[in-house]
Chain A
């Protein structure tokens, strides 16, 4: 048996580690939660890591999962060992090729971090819906349920596919296993070599296409033989179970870990048996072991090889004593007779003559829904009933259909000696990273087993993380969160969480509570909310406090308190002797950050060294002294749905929302972010009227629509709060009126872009602008009242302004507000602008990505409504189809308009010719024209309502609103537009239909963590382009211009806000397809986000991002449609790119290559500029045509 080596890694790394070492070609594409496997493979190959044949696997990023599957297919067909990684919709895109690969009996393994499918809503979390959608493809499906198994089964699958020639999908639960960090036994290369038969590898190679041995594969068959051909592979499938078992046995001989196709654990004479696969089996096993010890006759049958399903092996593995089976599926098949595993088990029992076993099926764990021992116990209890509920659900309260089983949530099977710790941190404070390090320290430096699982927020700014850590002397089989009242240690790294969340519900009686507080230790008690004081006293918690921000500040760590809190944890928990713990923390710091330079190490070491002197245990008084209580998640005045459904989600109690409360079709009300007051900014902007020039630039650039300006009647000021600031309006359209810029203090993220954009400076002190940052807490209450007053002031009459200046455009109400995007986001200001200009008549298709997440991730969503109840109607379909999705919307609108126009003349007698004519021939090219049309439509509706028995009248009534001009917008990032959705985008642009496409170009896949797209510039480092992208950015605009009838603009609001506004207005006005490519600075660029606008300017000045507008309407007038809006490059490219870490890090890792790529990029700037100049100089005069003719 090979020597044992333990490592502490997550499930993605566990699988990728084997995949990378046993393949030659890897085609990748990012999708959560499987991206980590592709990223690691790319990183390993970039660093020269070799496979077991001592050659570096070739890693190629594709444009979509469909593309990856195609590349895999081709690579396999030419004989390379090839793999890929995917999940969810990505796996669905691979299905067509999967049929082919299986049909051609091709050896390969796909590793899948199983994830939910987007149905009523997208979810990135784990279940088996994606995997179950492939069970008919002819692939073997092998399920692993833990990080160790993800490692082991990756190898067993590889060995089995080579032997059987059947392609394998090795899958494990997304997030639960893919992202769980655990201490596992590492499979050395020797084990891999022993499992992989080189003769079989060569056989695979020899089956590949080569001209030296030509053959045809991939024919088209006719009715005479297709059927027979389909049946010809049966023997191969029949052999798979035996082959897999043999490989499992061989693996056991090498490692000591024995697996079977179906593993039974539990009482030898079990009467109640649960059948399950995936990580849920770990939970069932722990519960079964606990119950068997208590004398209960229960058992677990764990399914490993789900396809090809060995009916015999399955039936044999079920104890003959079994009277009741509960088969659990982590999937949902609406309308089916039962979920797939359940049906398979029922069938197996029937086919093997075991009809006497009562079998029920149930669903659990969709979208990473918790699946706990308490739930398992609930299922076993149900199985004791004479008529147990079939097709049940567990883990939710289904008060609609009554499917859910009741259970006692306090039931626990945790080993008493296992230490359980829960940490509440801010995303930005590094808590999760430190906890991952802690697990590694415990895993490596002690004999303990350790496990960590991390729960993240749905927001990208000010997000909360909850870390669940377990460690102890026994292997930890607990793929579920730490339950309330069971944590030995609870840490709250941000005091304000206590005001919002029931942090202490996790603490067990007598447990430890560690709090980061700005207060002196002796004053901390009085500052705690009442609920926290009660919990501490009732549970008799030991309380430790530290002012970690103070320590961080003094040691140069800024707001990153991770190593400080980590040191506190080790000091208090006693898992290691203090000195050793500190030594190990420093060792981990050295290992994690060592390559980043001595200064980083020194700073972290100092933070560690300063911690203990600042850590205090406080004595807890016996009485309650608090004068504050935990805040309600939403104000009492919020709509009922917000209070009852979204409120619990905000308060981290969404698990308790019953089925009946959920919208049945994924439809949610607009304008809900305004109810979620997150208070995440330490500082917010404050307006200084004495300096303000009312230019509106601060309002224009605000990514979160928290800073707004209004002109209003001075009479309104009579009701204003005393501190409400105002000045006289300087708008020529609104003389004699009052003017105010107001900030929403509780919604601001503190990004400071408004301050950066403000051009008005104090003449005697230029550092003071008309907008300056000030600490939020001191002015929160005052400004909240001011905001409330401001928000309720009447909006400006849209017909009174022409929105062709920045200041005017910003008087229009944003209908996209308070999103959860990153602080300082470069995308959202563009979206907000569209919402202001056209939002009340816009229909929006949004590609999956950052914009669909901050635009549509629950609990609250930013698309808003105005006081008339109108606002953007928004939807997200998929990642790959967004252009087509938007076109579909346009087609509907066009068709409905056509039908309405056809119907209208029928009612000329009732409506009068003037109204009909007005409706049919309305000029809707201005706000006034649109308003008049709305008025006509209103009359139309009134008139039609009177014609109750007329079917056509009913039809027209239902379509009446279509007569008001609509604006179709298609939003998405560069990953969509340049890569996965490019084919569709091209087609939609070519269609000539009136849609407006806005590409929020961050030059990487931002939402999945910064993978390279075809928009990524030459020389920029990104995931999947670790060595710096070696090819130039695709010129999407130029391709679109080639049609000649597509409006195209390239904009960057930081370089020219006016050009941005102009382009957006022109694009919408153009009666045809429009494409706007918007430079969007991004956190993935590695820049100071407050300088994002400045970077945009430099991008333009350097020539990386020339601004232009290509308006085909000009060509029809004999003018050149291309207008270049920026000046000739005036700075060298390095003055722009080396402000960004994505470029600079290549300079630091490979200076020679960086210089080479920069030189090439600089050359490209020159040639592109000259090319555009030539295009812009071409004559479009038709007179010339005539002369030539």
Chain B
């Protein structure tokens, strides 16, 4: 019998398939279904501080706009005064999910202000989260802002959050980091227990008919797997953190590759959203039979087995373009 147990952020998971942040955790029922489907853990959908602020200001704006301007209509909407505006709704739901399932529940936080990050992190811990996942992402549009400044801000933020909580902390990264190993090292030094590679974002698109910018978020495909696969392979063994791979995991084979690269868990959402909860069992079945066929007795046995440090040709992970391929070719004996 193969052993699928893995350890992630100090948590022992029965298998390495983790449901990543998605609408699937927005309902207690669907969270329960995830558990029944066999996931090793689940990451809650993200709490967006920006959204909380926006919704709050928006509600205030529309409840206030036009009021006290005209004698007959001193207001236009009734103000019930009872709104689930702050993080309370999310935190209550987190508690409820935690109570409803027995697998570990990782809370996901997307903050904007320093105070928001630490305050909400504490709230999530208090609500029962087994661990935290921080989503660091900032679109730097100001030419005066340097990469170093931005990275310093990120690192300080991780340190602040780490100092605010006692539960394990993972940081979900964007792929757009110039020198990822260095940055990853700094994050781990600042207190990150795990790194999640990579976040996927809404991206602008163009509506050519109306000449307008639109926003889209497509479900991922297996093609997207290679990028995080490369980086986890590179980072594994060099940086002492637990890695999670998210983006492009759709099959049992994908999940096996993730383990081979050195991740402790593989996260997925698109596959479940597209093809249902049953895919967890399918993937686990594929993994197990592959392991049996290839005489792997435990998942931990393969974690990092094909990382840069473990393969015969480490340069393979460094080939990024034609020139690099050529030079690699030249260097071959």
> Do B62 and A1086 touch across chains, with their CB atoms under 8 A apart?
yes
CB contact under 8 A between A1148 and B65, given known A597-B60, A1084-B77, A1086-B76: no
Complex contact B53–A124 (CB within 8 A): no
Contact B83 A1145 (CB under 8 A): yes
Using A597-B85, A599-B56, A1086-B62 as known contacts, say yes or no to A1145 and B77 having CB atoms under 8 A apart. yes
Note all chain A residues with C-beta closer than 8 A to B212. Answer: 766
Nearest Cβ on chain A to B110's Cβ, whole angstroms: 15
Distance of A454 Cα from B74 Cα, bound (Å) = 11
Q: A596-B59, A761-B211 are in contact. Are A1006 and B83 (CB under 8 A)?
A: no
Q: Are A1148 and B78 in contact (CB under 8 A)?
A: no
In the complex, whether B176 has a CB less than 8 A from a CB of chain A is: no
Render A451-469 as a binary contact track against B, CB cut-off 8 A, 1 for contact: 0001011011001010000
Secondary structure type dominating chain B contacts: loop
Assign chain B's interface to a size class.
Answer: 35 or more
**Interface centre among B58, B63, B77, B84, by most A CB within 10 Å?**
B77
> Chain A residues with Cβ under 8 A from B326's Cβ?
none
Q: Please tell me which one of the listed residues A33, A465, A599 contacts residue B69 in the complex, with CB atoms under 8 A apart.
A: A465
CA distance A175 to B83 in the complex (A): 31
Q: Of all chain B residues, which has the CB nearest A35?
A: B72
Interface residues of B in 75-96 (CB under 8 A from A): 75-78, 80-86, 89
Residues on B with beta carbons closer than 8 Å to the beta carbon of A556: 57
Question: In the bound complex, do residue A43 and residue B76 qualify as a contact, i.e. CB atoms below 8 Å apart?
Answer: no
- A1021 to B82 CA separation, bound complex (whole angstroms): 13
**Residues of B close to A593: CB separation below 8 A:** 60
* Set of chain A residues within 8 Å of B145, measured between Cβ atoms: none
Chain B, residue nearest A1024 (CB): B78
Residues in A whose Cβ lies below 8 Å from that of B73: 1006-1010
Cβ of B329 within 8 Å of any chain A Cβ, yes or no, is no
Cβ contact within 8 Å between A430 and B68: yes
Q: How far is the CB of B120 from chain A (nearest CB, A)?
A: 11
Q: Which residues of B contact A1008 (CB under 8 A)?
A: 72-73
Q: Is the CB of A1148 within 8 A of B72?
A: no
A43-B78, A1009-B72 given as contacts; is B57 within 8 A of A600 (CB)?
yes
Please tell me which one of the listed residues A36, A433, A456 contacts residue B70 in the complex, with CB atoms under 8 A apart. Answer: A456
Complex contact B85–A430 (CB within 8 A): no
Q: Is the CB of B80 within 8 A of A1026?
A: yes
List, in ascending order, chain B residues with CB within 8 A of A603's CB. 57
Task: Using A1148-B59, A1148-B85 as known contacts, say yes or no to A47 and B80 having CB atoms under 8 A apart.
Answer: yes
Contact with B along A586-609 (1 / 0, CB 8 A): 000000010111111001000000
Contact of A1083 with B66 in the complex, beta carbons under 8 Å: yes
Contact of A456 among B71, B78, B83 (CB under 8 A): B71
Does B153 touch A at the CB level, under 8 Å? no
Contact B67 A175 (CB under 8 A): no
How many residues of chain A are within 8 Å of chain B by beta carbon? 61
| B81 A1023 Cβ-Cβ under 8 A | no
Instruction: Digitize B198-224: 1 where CB-to-A-CB distance is under 8 Å, 0 elsewhere.
Output: 000000000000011000000000000
Interface presence of B173 (CB below 8 A): no
Taking a contact as CB atoms under 8 Å apart, the answer to whether A1009 and B71 are in contact is no
B36 close to chain A: CB less than 8 A: no
- Asked if A1141 and B59 sit within 8 Å, CB to CB, the answer is yes
Query: Which residues of chain B are within 8 angstroms of A457 by Cβ–Cβ distance?
Result: 69-70
Measured in the bound complex, the distance between the Cα atoms of B59 and A1006 in whole Å is 19
User: B28 contacts the other chain (Cβ, under 8 Å)?
Assistant: no
C-alpha gap A1142/B58 in the complex (Å): 12
Q: Closest residue of chain B to A43, judged by CB? A: B78
Instruction: Tell me, yes or no, whether B190 is within 8 Å of chain A by CB.
Output: no
Q: Is B72 a contact partner of A595 (Cβ separation < 8 A)?
A: no
> Measured between alpha carbons, how far is A43 from B75 in the docked complex, in Å?
14
Instruction: Let me know if A39 is at the binding interface, CB within 8 A.
Output: yes
Chain A contacts for B58, CB-based, 8 A? 1141
Which residue in A454, A1084, A1149 is a CB contact (below 8 Å) of B68? A454
Chain A residues closer than 8 Å to B77, beta-carbon distance: 1010, 1021-1023, 1084, 1086, 1141-1142, 1145
Contacts of A597 in B (CB 8 A): 52-53, 55-57, 59-60, 83, 85-86
Q: Please name the residue on chain A nearest to B82 by beta carbon.
A: A1149
Q: Is A567 an interface residue (CB 8 A)?
A: no
Query: Is the pair A460, B69 in contact by a Cβ cutoff of 8 Å?
Result: yes
Q: Most chain-A CB neighbours within 10 Å: which of B60, B68, B71, B85?
A: B68
19 A–B contacts, CB within 8 A, in A order: A175-B71, A456-B68, A457-B69, A460-B66, A595-B81, A595-B85, A597-B53, A597-B83, A597-B85, A598-B56, A822-B66, A1009-B76, A1083-B66, A1141-B59, A1141-B62, A1145-B59, A1149-B80, A1149-B84, A1151-B84
User: What is A's interface to B at a CB cutoff of 8 Å?
Assistant: 32-33, 36, 39, 42-43, 46-47, 124-125, 175, 179, 426-428, 430-433, 436, 454, 456-457, 459-460, 463, 465, 556, 560, 593, 595-600, 603, 761, 766, 822, 853, 1006-1010, 1021-1023, 1026, 1083-1084, 1086-1087, 1141-1142, 1144-1145, 1148-1149, 1151
Q: Can you add 5 more A-B contacts, CB < 8 Å, to A457-B69, A1086-B63?
A: A42-B78, A179-B71, A595-B82, A597-B55, A1009-B76
